[in-house]
A and B are shown apart, each in its own frame.
Chain A
Amino acid sequence: MAGLGFACLVLALVVCAYGIGASLYGVRRGRVEFSESGRRSVYALAGVLTVAMIVLEVAFLRNDFAFNTVADTSSRTTPALYRAAAVWSSQEGSLLLWAWLMSLWSSLALFLTRKRLRDVAAYATAIMLGFGGFFVALMVFYANPFATTNPAPPEGVGLDPLLRFPTMIIHPPMLYSGYTLCTIPLAFGMGALLARRVDADWIKAIRRFAFAAWLFLGAGILLGALWSYSELGWGGYWGWDAVENASLMPWLTGTAFLHSLMIQEKRGMLKVWNVSLALATGTLAIMGTFLVRSGILDSIHAFGGHTLGVPFVCLIAALIGGSIYLVVSRRDMLRSEHRLDSWLSRESIFLANNVVLVGLCFVIFWGTYFPLISEAVTGQEASVGPPWFDRYTVPLALILVLLSGVGPVIAWRRATLANARRNFVVPIVCALLVLLALLIAGVTQKPLAAAMFCCAGFVFGSIGQEFFRGTRARRAMAGEAAPLALLALVRRNRRRYGGYIVHIGIAVLFIGVAASSSFEHASQLGLSPGQSTRVGAYTVRYVRPTATITPKYDEAHTGSTLSLGALLDVTEHGRHVATLNPSEGFYASQEASQGTVGSLIGGQPVSHVAMDASLTRNVWTAIEPDIETPALKRIVTVGNSTLPPEDALVAIAYLARAYLKHPPQAQFNFLVSPLVFWIWIGGLISFGGGLIALWPAPSVVRRRVAARSRARALRGLARA
């Protein structure tokens, strides 16, 4: 079967090569059938890669250890769901995932634009096939997911226990969908420049894909943060790690792009800026993929050898060089049709938003690539830490949130100053009320967090006012009851009100971020059973140790051989709040040097955090039990030397019992973080708002609206 998979990859490579040739030939000679054939090559690529993906998935599900990737990342004891997801845990498998998703989204994009943008689509096809071909070539020549060993090993290494969590199943596909969707505006942008057609039609075609890229990428980033927070043993959701930053950068430029698109749509301005943003977003997405895959920057994520570094650098250099050349050589046709009518307009707020977003991206870019920059400049590799990032991103984030509250209040084109001044009253009052509440609660010792809360209050006031006034206007026009009017309002103005909902979500998210980073109580200490400690307003008592053995009884369902933990009682002023059971799971390894008993628990240990989550605060705890005490180590050594392999589990049971009877002091991490839950709620709200804004109106409604608008336009002329 591996032969089938590899043959698919080779076929895919041939299809890519043909498709590029056919599309370019078709568009330069004006022969439509070749452009069509090129487009169909993308569909064919999607089909072929789907077959390859199925072959690999089946191999994982069937435990076919002849496949190297299966033997390296899966095992019979890995639960079935994780086995299916293990496909993309390896370098080779994730390349296949990337190429497959790329082909699917490209097919969709070309299918939806098959009747329009003939020239642009043909060039875009060539570029998208170029990307697909690049990744397929990497697999064929460097990192083959279908490589086999003969004879097949009897058992695999197993999925890295750190990845055995539900969020890790969905995070890579989401993130990769985001990355691959980012390359579609890039392909169409380059296509538009090559075909010399950067106009309203191009904007209309790729707007949806830019939006989808933004949605998926954002979801992927948040899922990664959620995984980090709820599964990893450090209790944080964002560490300014190189790979986290790499995914955030295209999201930032993508957000800027979504906003400036609207300006080009309305005023025919910012064509150079827009096409540059589209190209930058796609390039940053490729750079993000490169960062994760090449190990060129130190990061907890950096897996994959350095072998892929050179091809990626070439690709990125080609993208940057090509982009700059295209924009400069086509700058004549990218001239603006109009200028800004007035500084007091929504367009200029969007411009400010763009500037802040790009500024944020630059700060993060600089900090992330600083080790490489400093090495190039000073010869000494140096890196900047989270405090440096925080110092520059927090003020910019404050300005961003503030702008999202100013925008809704200002009209398009040219706002009336008197009206604008009047409209600011409610938002400012809201912000002041928040400030008052903070002062009363005595929560102003953290000025930045307080500022963020006030900005969020401003945003809520501003957008709430918009919804209120819009509903009132709708009721005046159509006489509906309030809830119906609200629904109709949103349905008829999806972009505007969907966008407002997104901004509310972002404000909520930042409230959560500000609160949880400024007002956290952390404690780290060793406890023995019976001891207790204070964390913030809570008292935590170590009641007794816990232990489970064999994958069957693993409460976390991750297939651990042994799991040692503690039962903790959390109280507040004597009142019981929660019972927590953090534990550490020990997994089997393949290292014979550890002995028959040692290898049962010698694999990567993984901490299972216990958390009491509520809307107001999270009580988070992780445990590091001491498994290396002399007594416990002796059990392992004795078991190694005296027990036959089939009885090795007996020693593990003995070890668990010994741990329960004489528990050594364990290291605990406690965190009480307020309002963390609102980060995820804010993300959900934004996602929902994005879906609303993205959703197309049914075509019947669109025709009706178009006809009405046309009639009104003509009527206006008659009146004049």
Chain B
Amino acid sequence: MAFVIAILMLALVGLVLLVVGAPLRRARRVGGSRLVTGARAQRDDAAASPPAHTLDELEAAREAKYREIRDAELDFRTGKLSREDYQAIDAGLRAEAIEILDSLEAMSPGDSLEPPGASDA
């Protein structure tokens, strides 16, 4: 019985080492670790100036802005905003959205192409 347990434990330890060590083995094969300079540079920047805008953050901000635009439209259609207020808010939100889209284009040009088949129904 103890023998079986020992074998099982050994197998488990081996599995753990395999799973946990995979990235390290991969890195050694590729030849040296991939330094993520972006991350380190960002940390150095952050201390001195407002946080650098990474791609992820901009994309999240863009999605949030789209949601705001849709929310404002729903607010208008359910009678919580007057037409004038809605148009003012909507214009402001769209301008902010354009800013974010421009920053995104600047970071990765060509990325903002429309996905195929999308249309403005």
Q: Is the CB of A36 closer than 8 A to any CB of chain B?
A: yes
**Given the complex, which residues of A lie within 8 Å of B81, measured CB to CB?**
411, 415-416, 419
Q: Is the CB of B72 within 8 A of A413?
A: yes
Cβ of A705 within 8 Å of any chain B Cβ, yes or no, is: yes
Task: Report B-chain residues with C-beta under 8 Å of the C-beta of A418.
Answer: 82
CB < 8 Å: which of A200, A704, A711 contacts B57? A200
Q: Give Cα A36 to B54, complex, Å.
A: 20
Q: Say which residue of A199, A266, A414 sits within 8 Å of B68 (CB atoms).
A: A266
Binary contact readout B72-86 vs A (1 if CB under 8 angstroms, 0 otherwise): 101101111110010
A712 and B120: CB pair below 8 A? yes
**Main secondary structure on A side of the interface with B:** helix
> Is the pair B12, A30 in contact by a Cβ cutoff of 8 Å?
no
* CB neighbours of A413 from chain B (8 A): 72, 89
A 219-247 binary contact with B (CB < 8 Å = 1; else 0): 00000000000000000000000000000
Give the CA-CA distance A201 to B53 in the complex, in Å: 10
- The residues in B between 1 and 41 inclusive whose CB is less than 8 angstroms from any CB of A are 2, 5, 8-9, 12-13, 15-16, 19-24, 26-27, 33-37, 39-40
Task: Determine if B64 is an interface residue (Cβ-Cβ < 8 Å).
Answer: yes
Q: Which residue of B lies closest to A337 (CB)?
A: B50
Partner of A200, one of B20, B61, B70: B61
Inter-chain contact B101/A48, CB cutoff 8 Å: no
Interface segment among A92-100, A111-119, A160-168, A278-286: the answer is A111-119
> Does A493 contact B79, Cβ atoms closer than 8 Å?
no
Q: What chain B residues lie within 8 Å of A355 (beta carbons)? A: none
Q: Is A15 in contact with chain B by the CB < 8 A criterion?
A: yes
Cβ–Cβ contact A469 & B23, under 8 A: no
Tell me which of A38-46, A293-301, A303-311, A437-445 binds B: A38-46
Question: What residues of A have a CB within 8 angstroms of the CB of B121 in the complex?
Answer: 708
CB pair A704–B16 under 8 Å, yes or no, is no
Contacts of B24 in A (CB 8 A): 33-34, 37
Decide if A709 touches B66 in the complex (CB within 8 Å): yes
Q: How far is the CA of A217 from the CA of B98 in the complex (A)?
A: 40
Among A5-23, those with CB < 8 Å from B are 7-8, 11, 15, 18-19, 22
Residues in A with CB closer than 8 Å to B19 are 40, 43-44, 47
Contact between A201 and B57, CB atoms less than 8 A apart = yes
Whether A422 sits at the interface, judged by CB under 8 Å, is: yes
CB pair A30–B36 under 8 Å, yes or no, is: yes
Q: How far is the CA of A44 from the CA of B20 in the complex (A)?
A: 7
A420 in contact (CB, < 8 A):
yes
Q: How far is the CA of A20 from the CA of B34 in the complex (A)?
A: 20
Contacts of A435-488 to chain B: CB distance below 8 A: 466, 469-470, 473, 476-477
The answer to whether A1 and B5 touch across the interface, beta carbons within 8 angstroms, is: yes
B98 close to A717 (CB less than 8 A) = yes
Tell whether A530 is near chain B: CB-to-CB under 8 Å: no
Q: Once the chains bind, are B27 and A33 in contact (CB under 8 Å)?
A: yes
Beta-carbon contact of B12 and A195 below 8 Å: no
Q: Is A4 interfacial (CB-CB < 8 Å)?
A: yes
- A195 to B56 alpha-carbon distance, docked (Å): 15
Q: Which of B8, B56, B80 contacts A116 (CB 8 A)?
A: B56
Cβ B118 vs Cβ A4 within 8 A: no
CB pair A36 B23 closer than 8 Å: yes
CB of A606, distance to nearest CB on chain B (Å): 38
Most chain A beta-carbon contacts within 10 A, residue among B16, B34, B63, B95: B16
B106 contacts chain A at the CB level, 8 A cutoff:
no
Chain B interface (Cβ < 8 Å from any Cβ of A): 2, 5, 8-9, 12-13, 15-16, 19-24, 26-27, 33-37, 39-40, 42-43, 46-47, 50-51, 54, 56-57, 59-61, 63-64, 66-72, 74-75, 77-82, 85, 89-91, 94-95, 97-98, 101, 112, 114-115, 118, 120-121
